[in-house]
Chain A
Amino acid sequence: MRIKRNIARNLKNIYWQLKGIGIFNLAPVLGLYVLIPLANLAAYGMGHDMDYLYVNIVKQCQIFCPILSVWYVIFVLEHCIEEPGNELLYIRHRNKLPELLLCYLTFQILLLPLFAVYTGMFPDLWWLYLKLCVIQLLYLGLAYFTAFLCRKITISVLAVLCYSISTVMAATIEVQGISYYKVIVNQGTDLVRELIPFALAAGVMLIGGCICNYYFPMRK
């Protein structure tokens, strides 16, 4: 009951906070349901080759979905950290992670119809969805931690952009490590093994973010 109440409260918070950015709320929707499908169609148009389409889907999702997943997160963080009078937001509920996790879950739900279509064509793309869940959690952790550590979302935005660019560039020069970007989708235990470092990193950043979040109102 209490959990339900908290979820409802957090959802309302997110709603009011995101209302302030107006039409830009549609950016993730446009990205997921216009930009990525258009790119997929263009790829299919190039040779009507399903293999090529598959690779294209995998690439586009790995490039765009993580960046779009932090769209709402960034603006909720902006509201919590930079808006005048934000100390009000910390009086009763100091930890902002539940709200951000709800933004993350919202995005995951938004992603479902797109992946329903994809898996209709290529059943193993569900593994990509799972991969993106972990990667997007990492992005959430990165944004959360850097925002509360530096008390500005400028660093968060920069960190997210630099990391997404790095993963794509690292993949092209065959440097492993920080890059999750691959043109093939591992499955089963292979995927789990691949994602463990990213999940650990996400966990560390979320914990770090929680600590910085806790001390944030005191440091103001």
Chain B
Amino acid sequence: MFRTQTKLFFRSPLRLILLAVLFGGSLYYYGPMFLAWFQGQVYYAGLGKLQEQLRDFIYVFLLLLFLAFDYFRDVPDANIDETLKADKNYLKQDLVQALMMILVVLVYAFWFLVMHIACHISDGTYTLQVLFYYFRLIGTYYILDGVVTILAGWLFARNAGKIVGYIVIILFALLISPLAISECAWLSWQYPWIYKVIQIFLIIPQGTQSLDPTYLQEVNWSIAARGIFWIGLFGTLLFLSYYRQEKRKYQKWIMLLGVICTIAAAVYSELPVSYYCVDNFISDTDDIFRYQMFGIKQQEKDADFKINFYDMEIQLGRQMKAKVICSPSVQTLDRYDMTLYYAYQIDRVTDENGEALMYQRDESTLTIYGQPDGIEKICIEYHGGSPKGKIHANRNDMYLPGWFPYYPIAGWQKIYDTDKNMYVDNQLKEPADFRIQIKTSKTVYSDLEEVAENRFCGKSEGPTLLMGFVKETELENGVRYIYPYASVENLPDTKFCAEEQKHFLNTLENTNSKIRLFMITPNVDEGGPGIYREDQIIDSVTFAYLNSIYEESGQWNWEMRNNETDEEDRIETVKMLYYNFKENETGETLYENVRNMYLTQMQEFGYTENDFEEFIIKNLGQEEWDYLKEAQEDVEN
């Protein structure tokens, strides 16, 4: 039967065309990779092609969907369905057809896996972690979604007339496509609850505009559950269609099982989860939206105590679950005002004896009421985290920067600075002792000293925790270098950064710098400060960027440079950035970027948009202004 199905499948010109487009189209991504191999070049810098493939996944989905639909329509179109149904083995032949389609899906997924792993091997970014990640990636998207397309095609082809089948396939394809998703995304600006409703339809990769090398595309059980939901739904409906005429004992139980699995998958996919995904949806925890647009009030209050010691136990699952024992410096206060990011939900607050303490929570503020006989230790248990932000923690990856109140800090502090459009640096004013245990099977990296597996101890103004596609190595002069290794740009001692790395290390040596740790962290989209301590640099920067900042300002912190420069320096910065933009961009993009950059840099000195032309002519020349205007006008024409 399988042989006959193979012939049936491959002898259709239409299916051959679709297969050619499916596999041939992927050469658009793999072609440059092949060329790079043959030319002896490492191609994979920037993970660009992976991102493009994930962005364009909708086309793979549609091709598989229509392929399945066409293939399963063979039997009704040939008027053989009635003959088949008279035979007790007709389900078997349909299952063999499904198996044929599954093979196509598996071959495509496997090819994807092989190509990308080969690229990672060739550019030196391959690890077992990467391999398992790609298994999860193809499992969640290519295989699960592939099965969804097969079941959808099967169901609509066999259980609806041809016209209705086409209509339902079109509607299903539109619902899953970026068209419907973009419609719901802009509606979510007004109605944030839409995300919760639409989530179950988000089975193709979301947030593919950027791919952070620390996490790559997020893949987790919550996302997989959406695919499982559709498989359960279509599978149950198919089962119903095949067995509705036969009264069998186990039929009801299988149906019930199918319904339970479908509902369970839907419920699981809606459970709170914390992972990185930059999509166009606005949710309740979108901080720019909350603080800039909604103007959520942020209370501030100085603390009348400090926390000397933190004993933290962090468990990673769908979200982070933490148990933090704080030792306050003053034990007899009536109340202890603290800050803990609002996305963390408090489970329990107890004292050193396990007795519950009264507390009040309002946004990110947490007030714990003291006991008459004082409190030695406060134990706070909480869970949660930002659902879709860079600052998140789950069983696969984690980024908890030291400047972020992912643990309770004394006083009521602002979380987000609406003037600077970035998170506030909430490092502790004085270092505290930290003991952190993270319960995970993966490797966590921190600025603190690791005393045992995923156990960190030390004094810090705020410990940073990082987990993902991260590695640590020791550079020439003993500097710890923690970096995201999935992208070649950050690999030490490679042609991509060897020179800049050497330059950086030389600068450290020449200036007798005490820097002993350089940790590259993900770039927070909402804007975040870096950590520049005497002995540490923890920020989303590269060797090259650090070198340029140091050359300009004699120190590493770009924020300080921005804060301390005068008007003349800032004009120089604008000029430098202008030429940078001119090299890399054209048209309206160039004009917009230059104008925005000018406003960002010069607004505080009283410059406005009306002064833009005069500023450019005065500082860069009439020629450059003409060039900019031409670029803008080119687009308008």
Contacts and interface: CB of A to CB of B under 8 A. Distances in A.
Does chain A bind chain B? yes
Interface in A12-30: 20-21, 24, 27
Contacts of A204: none
Contacts of B162: 78, 82
B22 to A, nearest CB: 11
B228 to A, nearest CB: 25
Contacts of A127: none
B17 interface: yes
Contacts of A195: none
A56 to B, nearest CB: 8
B163 A155 contact: no
Max chain B Cβ within 10 angstroms of own Cβ: one of A67, A157, A190: A157
A46 B289 CA distance: 14
B183 interface: yes
Nearest to A190: B637
A8 interface: no
Contact of A154 (B56, B69, B186, B187): B69
A152 to B, nearest CB: 5
A205 B387 CA distance: 47
Interface string B316-351: 000000000000000000000000000000000000
B589 A174 contact: yes
B182 to A, nearest CB: 7
B55 interface: yes
A155 B15 CA distance: 10
Contact of B187 (A42, A67, A75, A152): A42
Interface stretch (A97-105, A108-116, A134-142, A162-170): A162-170
Interface string A181-199: 0000000001001000000
A158 interface: yes
B627 interface: no
Given A20-B163, A162-B62, A169 B178 contact: yes
Contacts of B187: 39, 42
A24 B163 contact: yes
A165 B58 contact: yes
Interface in A126-183: 150, 152-155, 157-158, 161-162, 164-165, 168-169, 174
B8 interface: no
B177 interface: yes
B103 interface: no
Interface string B191-226: 000000000000000000000000000000000000
A85 interface: no
Contacts of B173: 161
Contacts of B178: 165, 168-169
B229 interface: no
A170 to B, nearest CB: 11
A23 to B, nearest CB: 10
Given A24-B167, A46-B189, A154 B59 contact: no
Contacts of B70: 152, 154
Max chain B Cβ within 10 angstroms of own Cβ: one of A150, A162, A168: A162
B617 interface: no
B63 A158 contact: yes
Nearest to B167: A24
A11 interface: no
A45 interface: yes
Contact of B14 (A154, A165, A174): A154
Contacts of A153: 166
A63 interface: yes
Contacts of B164: 24
Interface string B13-27: 110011000000000
Contact of A169 (B14, B55, B189): B55
A161 B183 contact: no
Chain A interface, DSSP helix/strand/loop, else mixed? helix
A24 B165 CA distance: 12
B163 A21 contact: yes
A154 B64 CA distance: 12
B170 interface: yes
A162 B59 contact: yes
Contact of A165 (B163, B177, B186, B637): B177
Interface in A61-89: 63, 67, 74-75, 78, 82
B589 A161 contact: no
A42 B190 contact: yes
Interface in B32-87: 55-56, 58-59, 62-63, 66, 69-70, 77
Contacts of B166: 74, 78, 153, 157
B623 to A, nearest CB: 26
A78 B169 CA distance: 15
Contacts of A43: 186
B99 interface: no
B631 to A, nearest CB: 14
Interface string A27-70: 10000000000010011011000000000000000010001000
Contacts of A75: 163
Contacts of A63: 179, 183
A162 B25 CA distance: 13
A24 B187 CA distance: 27
Contacts of B69: 154
Nearest to A42: B187
A156 to B, nearest CB: 10
B174 interface: yes
Contacts of B182: 168
Contacts of A150: 13-14, 17
A64 B499 CA distance: 52
A69 B63 CA distance: 22
B190 A46 contact: yes
Nearest to A189: B637
Contact of A161 (B17, B55, B174): B174
A84 to B, nearest CB: 9
Nearest to A24: B167
B177 A45 contact: no
B66 A158 contact: yes
Contacts of A67: 174
B54 to A, nearest CB: 12
Contacts of B189: 46
A39 B183 CA distance: 8
Contact of B179 (A45, A157, A164): A164
Contacts of A190: 636-637
B14 A157 contact: no
Max chain A Cβ within 10 angstroms of own Cβ: one of B169, B179, B589, B637: B179
A219 B70 CA distance: 20
Given A158-B18, A165-B58, A169-B56, 20 more contacts: A24-B163, A42-B190, A43-B186, A46-B190, A67-B174, A150-B14, A152-B70, A154-B14, A155-B18, A157-B166, A157-B170, A158-B63, A158-B66, A162-B59, A165-B62, A165-B177, A165-B178, A168-B179, A190-B637, A193-B637
Closest 5 CB pairs of A and B: A46-B190, A158-B66, A154-B70, A21-B163, A152-B14
Interface of A: 20-21, 24, 27, 39, 42-43, 45-46, 63, 67, 74-75, 78, 82, 150, 152-155, 157-158, 161-162, 164-165, 168-169, 174, 190, 193
12 contacts: A21-B167, A27-B167, A67-B174, A74-B166, A78-B162, A152-B14, A155-B18, A158-B18, A162-B59, A165-B177, A168-B179, A193-B637
